[in-house]
Structure 1
Amino acid sequence: MNASKTILVVGTYDTKDDELTYLAERIRAQGGQVVTMDVSVLGDPKVPTDHSKHDVAEAGGSSIAAAIASGDENHAMQIMAEGAAALSLRLYRAGEIDGVIVLGGSMGTDLALDLCAALPLGVPKYIVSTVSFSHMIPPERLAPDIQMILWAGGLYGLNSVCKASLSQAAGAVLGAARAVEKPSRDRPLIGMTSFGKTVLRYMVALKPALEERGFEVAVFHATGMGGRAFEGLAEEGAFACVMDFAPQEIGNHLFGSAITAGPDRMTHAGAQGTPQMIAPGCYDLVDFVGWQAPPARLAGRPTHAHNRLLTSAVLDADERREVADAICQKLSQAQGRVAVFLPLQGCNEWDREGADLHDAEGLSAFIEQMRMRMPANADLHEIDAHINDDAFTGAVLALFDEWVAQGIVKA
């Protein structure tokens, strides 16, 4: 086991010095190394940290004096959040840290979310918080590979209850830094979105076929956080090509579902000029949390309860036109090649002719709207088949091979 991993320990050392020092001691006791960062504003730590509050504020283009002068704790902490995110990323890129752990209440957690979002996928990032898993944390602010641990009994001062949380967190972040296999770049990567095989199953044929062609394929579960991970890697330019065949999160966001990947879903690959293959898998459904009431706009709709966590509501014809408009608007901004596959016989298994959620009128409305609003920079490929049919995967592979031969997708 490689013990020479360095963990960045972040927090407000003016109010939580004892707790942060204990956390650092537990990491060192397991053979890890520690770099400390103070994100306080008013007070000072008992012992100077490796990166002071002044270093943090300056990394964000400001100063502690400006934070204090603002007279507003929210504004002051946002100054520190911007600086902590910038400084942490700089330390990681310089090879000085292998993982990060942030300790805090609601203020520290607010900062921690920005810091973790700034670090690439694959960097161990832990938040120990008194508000872990709280509904006050919006999904769009969660880094796709973030880990949270509830800081039980830790609002003020050390005790045996909170030590149990802190010691576990110390072991978790150091263990993750030792064990992590960061994403490899030895083969060009295809980013694909989908759901489970009960509703979408094109990936079963596409993944091995693409791997035989020398590509790696990562399939993202498009239920909010999966879409965020997909978009995060797209923003980094990590994909040779994307096959975004389950953009349902666009409709989720449009119609007020909590299961959202945010407003910038289906934008980052286009902004990077990454070639995009698009299909509207499950475009006709909006997912919502199964143990909550559906969004008011979707009350009384036909639904499919996937499990106790997730239920899908069916969109009507006008709403499907809205989804088509949103997809086409996003694609119109793309800087790279775009191909849209439009399966004319349905876009999820529950919408096949004869299935419970089949709606011929709604499907027809969506298809016509896609035809009408398709942007000039996108090529439309209509397929007289269902999205789960062999004809769909065959059409995708045929065009993919053309793009590779033409150098549009770099092999």
Structure 2
Amino acid sequence: MTDPRTILVIGTYDTKDDELNYLCDCIRQQGGEVLSMDVSVLGDPVQPTDLSKHDVAEAGGGTIAQAIESGDENIAMQIMARGAARLARRLYDAGRIDGVIALGGSMGTDLALDVCQALPLGVPKYVVSTVSFSAMLPPERLAADIQMILWAGGLYGLNSVCKSSLSQAAGAVLGAARAVEKPRRDRPLIGMTSFGKTILHYMVTLKPELEKRGFEVAVFHATGMGGRAFESLAAEGAFAAVFDFATQEVGNHMMGGLSAGADRLTNAGARGIPQIVAPGCYDLVDLIAWQPVPERFADFPAHDHNRLIKSVVLDEAGRREVARAHAEKLSGAKGPTAFLLPTRGCNEWDRPGADLHDADGLAAFCDEIEKTLPGNVTLHSLDAHINDAAFSAAALDILDDWIAQGVVKI
């Protein structure tokens, strides 16, 4: 390969020296180059790494001696996590790495999540972990484009089972570094949240209209991880404006559903990004379909979306609670914020005559929004359904006004 690409390989070389060196060898055998980073605390690798544990601890604001003297492995690894994340970003900014792969159990994975969050979208980020995909990994810790590979048979020592995982991971990160098409910044980006077209379909109308105006549009599937990616990019300031029209994850987090994290509906506002918000599917809480329905929802109406997702329908009290949460989260917004309130319903299943229609519940939500929405948010009540053409037209009118004022730039 004329363009070999360099991969940063991170792990505790004192306890996983053989495994990490095997991973490095696999990358080199495929024509890649390696920078090795040791995040050990107590021991030392057989051979020196490119970035030593002392380099990492120093970047984390401490020393290995301080980490050891703390007597607490959690404190020690947090020092190393800070240092590893800072060093990884410095290496990327200096053009020295094209991707990262980290190896570990729960401790190494904890550190790896910080490293991945420190790198921008489009930098290949692979975590080979004995706890990949575990429910212990909170959504707010996951980078928008993180990749995880389950490290089967990888707890202690090399074997043919774990080599299968490691060799695939080596090929994956190097291949991704060679193939990635990083996000362009030649057009301002609008971030939009939605669901599939059967329940919310405003994006079918809005996307081409926004593109005509010179924007690129990225639509995020708001089922927990999609909202997490949306919030992650909003926190980076990646969006020129947001059309956050599927805020169900706010209620999901409150009610124990598929959460996008406690900071859902806050990051665009914190960055001052102009935002238009609408409460798409606010009345539903998405649960894992193959698990028992929590007792609190045992008598609630429900919709089986598929074998993965079951949605329960909130009662009036729950809807008022979700409305107040929207108001509280938006109260911290530093930029222009408009709230579109479609008073005829906020998802296709909630239209009059549809299975999940609840006129009293919708009225309760609208009433609570009108009572609690803070003064920094402009309320636009619409005599329309969220999937009606009038809703999309209203959103475009707000955006066009912001463009005319210079609030949103093309």
Alignment of 1:10-25 (within 5 A): 10-25=10-25
Q: Which moved more, 1:135-144 or 1:58-67?
A: 135-144
Q: Structure 1 residues 296 and 95 mapped into 2: Cα distance closer, same or farther (>3 Å)?
A: farther
Cα displacement string for residues 149-191 of structure 1 (whole angstroms, at most 9, x for unaligned residues): 1212222221222111111100000000111111111001000
Letter in 2 for 1:282: C
Aligned residue in 2 for 1:359: 358
Aligned residue in 2 for 1:98: 98
**Matched-pair contact (CA < 8 Å) for 2:144–2:233:** no
Q: CA deviation at 1:203?
A: 0.2
Letter in 1 for 2:159: N
Mapped partners of 2:144, 2:225: distance in 1 = 6
Aligned residue in 1 for 2:293: 294
Aligned residue in 2 for 1:108: 108
Alignment of 1:273-284 (within 5 A): 273-284=272-283
RMSD: 1.1
Q: CA deviation at 1:4?
A: 2.5
Q: CA deviation at 1:140?
A: 2.8
Alignment of 1:336-355 (within 5 A): 336-355=335-354
**Matched-pair contact (CA < 8 Å) for 1:338–1:377:** yes
Q: Which runs of 4+ in 1 moved over 6 A?
A: none
Mapped partners of 2:98, 2:296: distance in 1 = 46
Mapped partners of 2:402, 2:135: distance in 1 = 44
Partner of 2:404, secondary structure, is helix
Mapped partners of 1:99, 1:245: distance in 2 = 33
Partner of 1:49, secondary structure, is coil
Mapped partners of 1:297, 1:405: distance in 2 = 48
Q: CA deviation at 1:136?
A: 2.7
Cα displacement string for residues 36-67 of structure 1 (whole angstroms, at most 9, x for unaligned residues): 00000000011111110011111111111111
The answer to whether structure 1 residue 316 and structure 2 residue 311 are counterparts is no
Q: CA deviation at 1:356?
A: 0.5
Mapped partners of 2:159, 2:339: distance in 1 = 58
**Matched-pair contact (CA < 8 Å) for 2:144–2:228:** yes
Cα displacement string for residues 191-247 of structure 1 (whole angstroms, at most 9, x for unaligned residues): 000000010000000000100111100000001111111111111111111000001
Mapped partners of 1:290, 1:316: distance in 2 = 20
The answer to whether structure 1 residue 55 and structure 2 residue 55 are counterparts is yes
**Matched-pair contact (CA < 8 Å) for 2:138–2:261:** no
Aligned residue in 2 for 1:233: 233
Mapped partners of 1:345, 1:55: distance in 2 = 59
Stretches of structure 1 lacking an aligned partner (at least 5 in a row)? none
Partner of 1:382, secondary structure, is strand
Q: Which moved more, 1:292-301 or 1:187-196?
A: 292-301
Letter in 2 for 1:224: G
Mapped partners of 2:107, 2:331: distance in 1 = 39
**Matched-pair contact (CA < 8 Å) for 2:227–2:260:** yes
Aligned residue in 1 for 2:302: 303
Instruction: Report % sequence identity.
Output: 72
Mapped partners of 2:226, 2:307: distance in 1 = 19
Compute the TM-score of the two structures, normalised by the length of structure 1: 0.98
Alignment of 1:196-207 (within 5 A): 196-207=196-207
Q: Which moved more, 1:294-303 or 1:263-272?
A: 294-303
Partner of 2:175, secondary structure, is helix
Partner of 1:173, secondary structure, is helix
Letter in 1 for 2:85: A
Letter in 1 for 2:315: D
Q: Which moved more, 1:289-298 or 1:184-193?
A: 289-298
The answer to whether structure 1 residue 139 and structure 2 residue 155 are counterparts is no
**Matched-pair contact (CA < 8 Å) for 1:346–1:387:** yes
**Matched-pair contact (CA < 8 Å) for 1:125–1:147:** yes
Mapped partners of 1:195, 1:378: distance in 2 = 24
Aligned residue in 1 for 2:168: 168
Count of residues in Structure 1 that have an aligned counterpart in Structure 2: 410
Aligned residue in 2 for 1:69: 69
Mapped partners of 2:341, 2:116: distance in 1 = 37
Letter in 2 for 1:386: H
